[in-house]
Amino acid sequence: MSIHKFKANLSNGKEISLEQYKGNVLLIVNTASKCGLTPQYEELENLNGKYKDNGFSVLGFPCNQFGGQEPGTDDEISGFCALNYNVTFPLFKKIEVNGENAHPLYQYLVKQAPEDANLDKNSRLYQHLRSNSPELLEGSAVKWNFTKFLIDRDGNVVKRYAPTTNPEDIAKDIEILLSK
């Protein structure tokens, strides 16, 4: 199985099959507009622009499960991203990434990559989670906004990155997959 077997709704409501990304390298990210990590949108857009002609795309999945930091409607989220970060990569309808109502794509992603690479135990995010949401530190749950999953051209999950991983730090891994 691969991510190409899943469908998702774009922010405009149109359902698409992720099979349309077959042959592309993807970075799938759960996003939020009112998070301390929201400026990562700019870096994500930079990666998207830098590599899109080589068969790469970022896919953004807004989620309001972490501190209520994505309260807007799908239209408001798209408008915010376009206005503030010139986002051109696809944004999908707001989804849940954890729990019984988690989108099937995210259920699959966390099974394939259950651990965040480089989750710094000295970071403010880790300390916040330890104090306020310790259950998120256990198991394969998505820990916070801006958790990233790198997908190869065949739709396989290659690696999961912690929310605090700067998108630009993933560039080398993207280049390796694009060269294959």
pLDDT 10s digits, 15-71: 999 999 999 999 999 999 999 999 999 999 999 999 999 999 999 999 999 999 999
Output the CA–CA distances (angstroms, integers) from residue 122 to 1, 38, 127, 130, in the order listed. 36, 20, 7, 11
132-169 pLDDT, tens digit per residue, is 777 776 778 899 999 999 999 999 999 999 999 999 99
98-137 pLDDT, tens digit per residue, is 999 999 999 999 999 888 766 677 777 777 777 777 777 6
Task: Please compute the mean of the pLDDT values over residues 72-80 and round it to a whole number.
Answer: 96
At residue 97, the pLDDT reads: 97
Do 33 and 81 form a contact (C-beta atoms < 8 A)?
yes
For the domain 3-178, what is the CATH code?
3.40.30.10
Is the per-residue pLDDT at 11 higher than 80? yes
35 is catalytic: yes
For residues 128 and 74, the model is more confident at 74
What are the sequence ranges of the domains in the chain?
3-178
At residue 16, the pLDDT reads: 97
The four Cα atoms 170, 23, 111, 132 give a dihedral, to 10 degrees, of 40
Active site residue: 29, 35, 63, 177, which one?
35
